[in-house]
Structure 1
Amino acid sequence: MEIRYATNPTDVKQYDTERLRSEFLVESLFVEGEINMVYSHYDRLITGGAVPTGQALKLEDKETLKTEYFLERREIGIINISEGTGKVTVDGESYQLNKRDCLYVGLGNKEVTFESEDNANPAKFYLASATAHKSYPTKKLPIDDATPTNLGSDAESNNRTIYKYIHADGLQSCQLMMGMTLLAPNNMWNTMPPHVHDRRMEAYLYFDMDEDSRVFHFMGQPNETRHMLVKNEQVVLSPPWSIHSGVGTNNYTFIWAMAGENYTFTDMDHVKMEEIK
């Protein structure tokens, strides 16, 4: 497990490109036959990728968490981002996940494993885990059963569909929120004008991009913005004090995951365009 520490927004003003990327960009989560995870000191969120290509991969990291099992004091959301079908087994009960299906696993489940239906076309499981103090039932929400919310327009280049998986009115959790945004063809912008939510952090996984596509992800305080160039299947860790917006060279999909103090999707502080620099 890689550890990422929290940073001070005043210090971030001095970061060059490489320092910015090393603090906030996760470049290689999805490696065949492995589970890779990053532990962020922003709200203790763990992001990870599991790509099983042989024997089942077990979710564990006792050395980092100092607990008997991974979900002893945590909950986790899991979304398959691959065309390959996969299986997640939670304390002996298995759940099949097709592309864009979501599974929530609550506090107290002792064993979680990942498998692919076809090892030549493996599933890619994206993981987001937050600390938890209450147990909620393990539940699956297929993309076909998720309720879409349509926002934006072609004129603004932000015609998009949002699926809220884990939230107060969806799959119940202790503090983790998780969902997915799909931009329509010929639409490239997300979350502009931007916002911040100082009571929780957010992680963005960009995917469904071809090899040459990129997203310019904008971050930083509204009057001190910075950008990072992001490739397919890379994650940006967004601090609570930072905006999180992006524009792509093509349309793309991203998964957002949040953890922190408040459990209200609309808890955000909007930023006016004239305030952005």
Structure 2
Amino acid sequence: MEIRHSVHPSDAKHYDTARLREHFLVEKLFEAGQVHMVYTHEDRMVIGGAQPAETALTLEAPDTLKTGFFLERREIGFVNIGGDAVVTACGERYELSKLDTLFVGMGVRDLQLASKDAANPAKLYFCSALAHATYPTRKVSIQEANTLYLGSQATSNERELNQIIHEGGINSCQLMMGITVLKPGSVWNTMPSHLHDRRMEAYLYFDLAEDARVFHMMGEPSETRHLVVANEQAIISPSWSIHSGVGTSNYTFIWAMAGENYTFKDQDIVPPAELK
């Protein structure tokens, strides 16, 4: 497990491209037969990816967590972005097609992650936040999500925002997750941009061609920066940073939040005219 420490916004102003990428970009999450994890001190979220091959993978607690098992004091959300997956939680089997989400609450000891077909492996992206109570394990397809239709073709940001783990869907202690799908011809997400000082956010960008890129905008509104993101790479977005992006083509991304406030609409909008 890799550890990423928190960054003060005054320090981030002085970072060059290499250092911005070192702190905020997660470049490799998926590798055949492996589980990769990043522990960020931004609201103690764990960001990870698992790509089971011929045999199932066990989600174990790294020494970093200092716990007996991974979900001893945590909850977790999985989204499958690859071939069909099977997640077994304490003996209960859940089959996940592409874009299906599985939430598993605090206290579940045994988590096994498998691909139904090793030739078309599952890719399970997951985010885990600290928990104080146990909420039941639940699977939801993207068709069952609460879908918001946002933007327009005229502003190149026509998209579907699918709320899945949130106060009106799968209940959790603090973890929120969803999937945003941009329509063909649309490339902008989250514009006008916003802040939520009470929550961090993580983004996974995927369904990008090999030669396509997303320019992820970050930083304080008066000190914006950008990160160039390839397919299946993730961003750690601190609470002081805007998070918006524009791609060389349309794309899909998974957003996940953790922090003090559990209200999705807790956002401080930043009009484009105020960005620098």
Q: TM-score, normalised by structure 2?
A: 0.99
Structure 2 counterparts to residues 210-221 of structure 1, below 5 A = 210-221=209-220
Aligned mates of 1:239, 1:247 — CA distance in 2: 19
Residue 272 of structure 2 is aligned to residue 273 of structure 1: yes
8 A Cα contact 1:62 1:68, kept in partner: no
2:64 counterpart residue number: 64
Aligned mates of 2:62, 2:269 — CA distance in 1: 39
Once the two structures are superposed, residues 115-142 of structure 1 have per-residue CA deviations (whole angstroms, 9 ceiling, x without a partner) of 0000011000000000000100000001
AA in 2 matched with 1:72: E
8 A Cα contact 1:86 1:96, kept in partner: yes
8 A Cα contact 2:4 2:41, kept in partner: yes
Structure 2 counterparts to residues 1-277 of structure 1, below 5 A = 1-82=1-82, 84-277=83-276
What is the Cα deviation at residue 164 of structure 1?
0.6
Aligned mates of 2:215, 2:62 — CA distance in 1: 36
What is the Cα deviation at residue 274 of structure 1?
2.0
8 A Cα contact 2:146 2:169, kept in partner: no
8 A Cα contact 1:79 1:103, kept in partner: yes
What is the Cα deviation at residue 192 of structure 1?
1.0
Once the two structures are superposed, residues 170-224 of structure 1 have per-residue CA deviations (whole angstroms, 9 ceiling, x without a partner) of 0000000000000000000001110000101000000000100000000000000
Q: TM-score, normalised by structure 1?
A: 0.99
Aligned mates of 2:158, 2:271 — CA distance in 1: 20
8 A Cα contact 1:205 1:236, kept in partner: yes
AA in 2 matched with 1:28: K
What is the Cα deviation at residue 8 of structure 1?
0.6
Aligned mates of 1:219, 1:62 — CA distance in 2: 30
CA RMSD between the two structures:
0.6
How many residues align structurally? 276
Percent identity for Structure 1 against Structure 2: 60
SS at match of 1:274: helix
What is the Cα deviation at residue 25 of structure 1?
0.0
SS at match of 1:240: coil
8 A Cα contact 2:61 2:68, kept in partner: no
Aligned mates of 1:249, 1:272 — CA distance in 2: 23
SS at match of 2:103: strand
Aligned mates of 2:190, 2:162 — CA distance in 1: 15
What is the Cα deviation at residue 147 of structure 1?
2.9
Once the two structures are superposed, residues 14-62 of structure 1 have per-residue CA deviations (whole angstroms, 9 ceiling, x without a partner) of 0000000000000000111000000000000000000000211011124
Structure 2, unaligned runs of 5 or more = none
8 A Cα contact 2:5 2:41, kept in partner: yes
Structure 1, unaligned runs of 5 or more = none
SS at match of 1:203: strand
Aligned mates of 1:273, 1:151 — CA distance in 2: 17
Aligned mates of 1:63, 1:180 — CA distance in 2: 31
AA in 2 matched with 1:71: L
8 A Cα contact 1:148 1:163, kept in partner: yes
8 A Cα contact 1:37 1:49, kept in partner: yes
Q: State which drifts further: 140-149 or 224-233.
A: 140-149
AA in 2 matched with 1:60: E
